Structure 1
Amino acid sequence: MLIPRPDELTRGEGEFLVAPDTPIMSDPPLRRAAEWLRSALAPSLGALPPTSGNGPAVRFRHAPDLAEEAYRLTVTPEAVVAEASSHPGAFYAAQSLVQLLPPSVHRSAPTPGPLRLPALAVTDRPRFGWRGTLIDVARHFLPKREVLRYLDLLALHKINVLHLHLTDDQGWRIEIKRYPLLTRTGGWRAGSTVGSSRHGRHEDRPHGGFYTQEDIREIVAYAAERAITVVPEIDLPGHTQAAIAAYPELGNTGGPVDVRTAWGPGEHVLNPEESTLAFFRNVFDEVLDLFDSRYVCIGGDECVTAEWRESARVQELMRERGLPDEDALQAWFVRHFDDYLTERGRRLLGWDEILNGGLAEGATVMSWRGTGGALAAARAGHDVIACPLTDVYFDYRQSDGPDEPIPVGCVIDLADAYAFEPVPEGLSPEEARHVLGGQAQLWTEPVDGPRALDYLAFPRLVAFAEAVWTSGPRDYAEFEPRLLAHLERLDALGVEYRPMAGPHPWQQRPDARGWPRSRAEMLADVLGGPEQHL
């Protein structure tokens, strides 16, 4: 019935009828969730429900005893009562109410007759506080309207973090007023690799786009109304070729550099001059003014160190700073921005390469290269987000079938996504408390538009959402019938998901070759260094 499956659900007798004149009322602390529900039901009802009146009603009641994201929901033929202590819990109660209604409630047209809610009682709260999804808007830009649509889809599944990957070698996607060339030059590239870079196929169609600061403020505010935090990622010291293309003085050669058109990490990385650190402190000053997230991601991953080894100036600076090798230089970058973010009341977030050379004191680790990073960080007392590439990289292929579009990476099918376990084996209960939750990744090298993103995300993201929300044992056989019913909701929303039986003909890409790998090959590849693995 509900996705994610709640902690407790008891069915009752009868049903509650929601008509256009049914009041939706709330105690003041929960008014935002009530207003969201009124707006969500208005198209189906043909009118905006009132906020007061006599007779049967939907009421949001403040319950300070509940945790922030917990809720209680009671539906009887006489009334609907949603209880929560704050906006997130009330919003999740509202999402559950919408899921209990017919799928037609997700369409922008009136539904004949009253809407019917089955009588039941639900008590629910999430297992993890971090239930995230990364969308890589750097490789292929996602227009603002599509970001807002995705926020609605994440909210439907009670996912509470959108990690926006805003910068990389292949593009810079956020306006920085102090440095306009970051978007004017770094915000577009001359062409793109088609399929896996291994095959060398290229198209000379320019690609670009960026979000203005007003766009970002809108996205952050829209997300907050849906109990979602937007976490920005500004990569350094690697994955910075687009920035260096805009401002060559940030690099190590001083010469002109183009925004990278091939996939994979570029060889052009930041130099360690104080002027470069000041440049990125100025960038982050503007970023922090736009995002209210406690966490800010600096990347820190896949830094190709060849330029550092070959640069006499970089080697001189390393000696002056007492840095024995390039790993220590990378760690020096991370510690600098850890101090910067800590001074401003934020927490540094980085991929698990930030463990190399010693982890900065306030850093939180995104463990993507298997579970080793999670184990090391948690045992050292650092917080961890679990996002292993062989489990939750949803740009990877969904089957061994020849019809999968651009089949890169290992197979991660629906059952694999549902079986995802954020807490790796081998941690003590105390260490396991450092695992804040999990995050699914939607890298977009093989994704040239929203339709392809829908195909890769859904329904795997539905399974992932339950994996990070629901406590207790999970049974895929029990989940699948609920998923099949849930697909009717996605149909009503216009989501172009992958059918259970395989892709539609128009979802295939026979023109773009991939690079299928096994799980073992993927892990060996990424653990071996920042090599091309797409």
Structure 2
Amino acid sequence: MTSADLIPAPRRTAPGDGLHELGDATTIDAGAGTEGVARWLRSTVGAATGLGLLYAGTGVDLRDGETRIELRIDPELGPEAYRMTVDRRTVRIEGGGAAGVFWGAQTFRQLLGPDAFRRAPLDPGRRWTVPTGTVEDAPRFAWRGLMLDVSRHFMPKDGVLRYLDLLAAHKLNVFHFHLTDDQGWRIEIKRHPRLTEQGAWRARTKFGHRASPLWDDRPHGGFYTQDDIREIVAYAAERHIRVVPEIDVPGHSQAAIAAYPELGNTDVVDTASLTVWDNWGVTPNVLAPTDHTLRFYEGVFEELLGLFPADVSPFIHIGGDECPKDQWKLSPTAQARIAELGLKDEDELQSWFIRHFDTWLTERGRRLIGWDEILEGGLAPGAAVSSWRGYQGGITAAQAGHDVVMCPEQQVYLDHRQAPGDDEPMPIGYVRTLEDVYRFEPVPPQLTEEEARHVLGTQANVWTEVMESQARVDYQVFPRLAALAEVAWSALPAPAERDYADFRRRMTAHYGRLDALGVGYRPPTGPLPWQQRPGVLGRPIEGAPPNV
């Protein structure tokens, strides 16, 4: 047993002296609490190998010629930790909880080889083997995630389910689901039907960065029904992935205002003339700080909580980023609210808005999380922070005793280009290579040991303004998500000391897994001709990011 081809790299391996061969006589013995993992093994590994993987009775002795996959929960291990022991007759996967057993099963699948990631066997007569030995492993961070923006470009439900499988294959356990923005509202809210009847559709779409003269004149849109959401959440839960839904307030709300104009600052803007935005950037049209707006979004969140149960979605993301205050400065209604509450300025008005929903969610057993702008004007008690504008927001929050997810734009925004030069399609932002992501460190050195405990983990963010299709999302996300997965899971040394050459060698096998999964990743040699977008303007940013 070696870690030569495993991603993310496990903590400890001990090689054996032979191979374990699976066959028609291989059965699964699923102990209490591991039944879901057994179903997953049969539906994935069983489909790829063509083996039946029938269920054996728990504790029944092996018969002659039979091999077995044993799944067990061992409370002595951490909740997501696992231990896999393989001899010639038995593959035993033990986890501190069902999640740990599931991550061990992911390692088992990797050891079977890239073809174990296909949906049907290539050769029905093939021998399927894994090396004997032991793997002991546990994640560094409890929060290991991907944020996917489905507002700028809608991803149909099947694509979302596919990405949940891709997260699971990389031992990532958080799916941050960015459901609303200026360019589209993507979740059905039954008490406010115009949010999807009108807010889910825009007349056209800017093609490329907002400086591009090109337009796609086809209407664009789509949304998830409430049954779609229930299916997505259940699918994620089967894969031990938490879903963090995001409903953006009080900025990035033009799609909602276009559907319900009274949500906007009607004393400043003719909100009835607003449409779902067809361009990129930051619109000045933000929610009005009125009681009506609060009651409207309480209704939205009430339906949301019913769709995202607390055991799968303890955190609710409320955005809070990029909220221009110009309309509030001009609005008599907003200024009256500031005076009524005794607030200092518009920043404190936004803080009041965020605090309202922090209290509302806390009373219902949930935790609010928002982008680091929610620090402005005072951070709501109990709120957690997604630190995207570099590290500083996360440092400030952790030092104040608030939990943090580190996702700085300069390091882990996967919409940013992967190489310099003109070949990268619609180049955006900083150059962030596979090696750059691999050397990302989520815990800033400025934090004390106690403060560092507030860093829940990390996630990569994928904003889809210039990703008009699943193929474009694949290109931007992979292979860099594999590097982020190892940063989030493995006990890596300091960034300068990380063995990138070894990671790159292991990626050689991992590209085969991605091929088998049908992922249109960026090849190490650069984009293929059909992955390029010549002549479409992006938004390159020159220079290196600020130091931590």
TM norm structure 2 = 0.94
For residues 345 and 83 of structure 1, the distance between their equivalents in structure 2, rounded to whole angstroms, comes to 31
For residues 448 and 12 of structure 1, the distance between their equivalents in structure 2, rounded to whole angstroms, comes to 48
Alignment of 1:418-457 (within 5 A): 418-457=438-477
* Amino acid of the structure 2 residue aligned with 1:512: V
Instruction: Indicate which of 242, 251, 269 corresponds to 2:264.
Output: 251
Runs of 5+ in structure 2 lacking a partner? Answer: 57-61
For residues 288 and 76 of structure 2, the distance between their equivalents in structure 1, rounded to whole angstroms, comes to 52
Alignment of 1:340-419 (within 5 A): 340-419=360-439
Mean Cα displacement is larger for which, 345-354 or 505-514?
505-514
In the alignment, is residue 309 of structure 1 matched against residue 313 of structure 2? no
> What is residue 130 of structure 1 aligned with on the other side?
143
> What is residue 45 of structure 1 aligned with on the other side?
49
Count of aligned pairs: 523
**Secondary structure in 2 matching 1:500:** coil
> What is residue 472 of structure 1 aligned with on the other side?
492
TM norm structure 1 = 0.96
In the TM superposition, residue 255 of structure 1 has moved relative to its aligned partner by: 3.0
Q: Deviations over 1:471-506 (max 9, x none)?
A: 132311111110111100111111100000100000
> What is residue 496 of structure 1 aligned with on the other side?
520
In the TM superposition, residue 47 of structure 1 has moved relative to its aligned partner by: 4.1
**Secondary structure in 1 matching 2:534:** coil
For residues 300 and 491 of structure 2, the distance between their equivalents in structure 1, rounded to whole angstroms, comes to 40
Alignment of 1:40-189 (within 5 A): 40-52=44-56, 54=63, 55-110=66-121, 111=123, 112-189=125-202
In the alignment, is residue 278 of structure 1 matched against residue 291 of structure 2? no
* Amino acid of the structure 2 residue aligned with 1:63: D
2:34–2:73 Cα contact (<8 Å) kept: yes
Mean Cα displacement is larger for which, 224-233 or 27-36?
27-36
Instruction: Indicate which of 508, 513, 525 corresponds to 1:484.
Output: 508
1:390–1:519 Cα contact (<8 Å) kept: no
1:64–1:85 Cα contact (<8 Å) kept: yes
* Amino acid of the structure 2 residue aligned with 1:7: R
* Structure 1 residues 315 and 431: alpha-carbon distance in aligned structure 2, compared to 1, 3 A threshold: same
For residues 105 and 141 of structure 2, the distance between their equivalents in structure 1, rounded to whole angstroms, comes to 20
Taking only aligned residues, the RMSD between alpha carbons, in angstroms, comes to 1.3
> What is residue 19 of structure 2 aligned with on the other side?
15
In the TM superposition, residue 13 of structure 1 has moved relative to its aligned partner by: 0.9
1:162–1:228 Cα contact (<8 Å) kept: yes
1:194–1:512 Cα contact (<8 Å) kept: yes
**Secondary structure in 2 matching 1:134:** strand
* Amino acid of the structure 2 residue aligned with 1:226: R
In the TM superposition, residue 324 of structure 1 has moved relative to its aligned partner by: 1.6
> What is residue 529 of structure 1 aligned with on the other side?
none
For residues 21 and 443 of structure 1, the distance between their equivalents in structure 2, rounded to whole angstroms, comes to 47
Aligned-residue identity in percent: 54
> What is residue 219 of structure 1 aligned with on the other side?
232
For residues 245 and 315 of structure 2, the distance between their equivalents in structure 1, rounded to whole angstroms, comes to 8
> What is residue 59 of structure 2 aligned with on the other side?
none
For residues 197 and 62 of structure 1, the distance between their equivalents in structure 2, rounded to whole angstroms, comes to 52
1:20–1:45 Cα contact (<8 Å) kept: no
For residues 86 and 134 of structure 2, the distance between their equivalents in structure 1, rounded to whole angstroms, comes to 6
**Secondary structure in 1 matching 2:26:** coil
For residues 255 and 51 of structure 1, the distance between their equivalents in structure 2, rounded to whole angstroms, comes to 61
For residues 178 and 102 of structure 1, the distance between their equivalents in structure 2, rounded to whole angstroms, comes to 49
For residues 373 and 23 of structure 2, the distance between their equivalents in structure 1, rounded to whole angstroms, comes to 55
Q: Deviations over 1:26-52 (max 9, x none)?
A: 111112112211211222332431111
**Secondary structure in 1 matching 2:435:** helix
Instruction: Indicate which of 336, 354, 357 corresponds to 1:337.
Output: 357
1:365–1:385 Cα contact (<8 Å) kept: yes
In the TM superposition, residue 466 of structure 1 has moved relative to its aligned partner by: 0.1
Q: Deviations over 1:254-276 (max 9, x none)?
A: 53111111101211100011011
**Secondary structure in 2 matching 1:67:** coil
Q: Deviations over 1:306-334 (max 9, x none)?
A: 11111122111211111221101110110
For residues 523 and 196 of structure 1, the distance between their equivalents in structure 2, rounded to whole angstroms, comes to 24
For residues 278 and 432 of structure 2, the distance between their equivalents in structure 1, rounded to whole angstroms, comes to 27
Mean Cα displacement is larger for which, 506-515 or 102-111?
102-111
In the alignment, is residue 26 of structure 1 matched against residue 30 of structure 2? yes
Q: Deviations over 1:181-201 (max 9, x none)?
A: 000000010111111112343
> What is residue 238 of structure 1 aligned with on the other side?
251
**Secondary structure in 2 matching 1:153:** helix
For residues 343 and 128 of structure 1, the distance between their equivalents in structure 2, rounded to whole angstroms, comes to 27
**Secondary structure in 1 matching 2:483:** helix
For residues 382 and 273 of structure 1, the distance between their equivalents in structure 2, rounded to whole angstroms, comes to 28
* Structure 1 residues 47 and 472: alpha-carbon distance in aligned structure 2, compared to 1, 3 A threshold: closer
* Structure 1 residues 312 and 523: alpha-carbon distance in aligned structure 2, compared to 1, 3 A threshold: farther
In the alignment, is residue 269 of structure 1 matched against residue 289 of structure 2? no
> What is residue 538 of structure 2 aligned with on the other side?
514
For residues 472 and 141 of structure 1, the distance between their equivalents in structure 2, rounded to whole angstroms, comes to 35
For residues 295 and 320 of structure 1, the distance between their equivalents in structure 2, rounded to whole angstroms, comes to 31
**Secondary structure in 1 matching 2:271:** coil
1:371–1:424 Cα contact (<8 Å) kept: yes
1:45–1:114 Cα contact (<8 Å) kept: no
For residues 222 and 245 of structure 2, the distance between their equivalents in structure 1, rounded to whole angstroms, comes to 17
For residues 347 and 25 of structure 2, the distance between their equivalents in structure 1, rounded to whole angstroms, comes to 65
* Amino acid of the structure 2 residue aligned with 1:205: R
